[in-house]
Chains A and B, each alone.
Chain A
């Protein structure tokens, strides 16, 4: 899980063009949206693309989206449960 979380941090930084941000700057439990990283709705869509591209997981339900992307930890847990 720890390895996945680290890998995810790097992938998120790359997918979302988060310049000047190091993996060590992101706390696994910090909110991704709103405060924390302050991501927006387009970033949310890019995270959906990331899930599909890197982990083969398709997310189509808007409600699910909100739960899965609350934090890096939440994303990692979802991947762990659903990875193909």
Chain B
């Protein structure tokens, strides 16, 4: 694999408005999951979530956008994170390098459309017809950052932004682009909250990933972007680099629309193939950031997949979804950013809220923050409905 360097990071989640704040919360084991405040729903008091504690107007302020009514919440979150990544990577868009954007979303502009769909069209609400599609935020950001060479939007549920990172890396490797801003975004919406509730996979209390008595997931929202660049681009601009994308894979479970196979076929294939693509062995992995939603089904299936690859000797692993909630289309990118931070800060994050380990597995997640760790290579899983399983491998710059 020719080298793909990560040169910039941007993130907004329930645990922070930017990288520094997210890192601070991770270090302090400070979860962002709490009572729902902004989403107008009859279930407000029924569920906790990783809702970001700002109104759309406040988000627009942070994003530097004048009129918040012209944007969906999904798009506002994406703009904040994309701008941070772009700035962090010190991009000069006029330096002659071919720049693209590959982003992901499952909610798109549904967060505002659902408020206005049944209303009569008025001057105030017809904006939201244009903000509805999943690719709207990509158009907004490419316009804002003057990205013209390529853009694409991926929508594959909870693996979406991991797939965006993978696709971006491939565009560099096949010589089509020099650098790509990759990631994803999703905002809370009644559409998803009620949908997950009707599938009976939400936990009314704080989620407990990889716990024997886990009841389900907590939804969350957020956005994260990474800037990835080719080796030539990095050398040309003498750029600071933070980590490398070493490998990736996507495989299909081919089992059920929303459940994962007990054997973890898809998950096993994705992890195995990602490890192979990175030209490493499973034991080279320092830390696994599992998908770990806290649903009975996922953690069982993913646990079986870990067992398929590692037997009982699984490297240190944890789910960070008890910090942020399950951010759906943004999850892959948010957790990729966490992976880069883990590598540079020598940290392994705790799997919060664990009381009882899953009986059938001999391995258990890390439950306290580990500092001063040698974190050279991180494996990050993102598994989506539709059996879409993706794994990313991120490595230290040596």
A residues whose Cβ falls under 8 Å from a Cβ of B: 40-42, 45, 48-49, 62
Contact = CB atoms under 8 A, between A and B. Distances in A.
Nearest to B198: A45
B257 A42 contact: yes
B198 A41 contact: no
13 contacts: A40-B256, A41-B256, A41-B258, A41-B259, A42-B199, A42-B257, A42-B258, A45-B198, A45-B199, A45-B200, A48-B200, A49-B198, A62-B200
Query: Which of B199, B200, B256 gathers most chain A CB within 10 Å?
Result: B200
B46 to A, nearest CB: 12
Interface string B249-285: 0000000111100000000000000000000000000
A41 B257 CA distance: 10
A42 B258 CA distance: 9
Interface of B: 198-200, 256-259
Contacts of A48: 200
Interface SS, B side = loop
Contacts, number: 13
Contacts of B199: 42, 45
Q: Which 3 A-B pairs have the closest CB atoms?
A: A41-B259, A45-B199, A45-B200
A42 B257 CA distance: 9
A41 B200 CA distance: 11
Query: Which of A41, A48, A49 gathers most chain B CB within 10 Å?
Result: A41
Nearest to B296: A62
A45 B194 CA distance: 13
Given A45-B199, A45-B200, A62-B200, 5 more contacts: A41-B258, A42-B199, A42-B257, A48-B200, A49-B198
Contacts of A62: 200
Contacts of B259: 41
Nearest to A44: B200
B156 to A, nearest CB: 19
Nearest to A48: B200
Contacts of A45: 198-200
Nearest to A46: B198
A45 B256 CA distance: 14
Nearest to B259: A41
Nearest to B297: A41
Contacts of B257: 42
A9 to B, nearest CB: 24
Contacts of A42: 199, 257-258
A41 B255 CA distance: 12
A34 to B, nearest CB: 15
B202 to A, nearest CB: 12
Contacts of B200: 45, 48, 62
B191 to A, nearest CB: 17
B261 to A, nearest CB: 12
B231 to A, nearest CB: 47
A39 to B, nearest CB: 13
A41 B259 CA distance: 9
A57 to B, nearest CB: 15
Contacts of A41: 256, 258-259
A62 B200 CA distance: 9
B296 to A, nearest CB: 9
A36 B256 CA distance: 19
Contacts of B258: 41-42
Contacts of B198: 45, 49
A61 to B, nearest CB: 10
A48 to B, nearest CB: 8
A51 to B, nearest CB: 13
A49 B195 CA distance: 12
Nearest to B257: A42
B47 to A, nearest CB: 14
B65 to A, nearest CB: 39
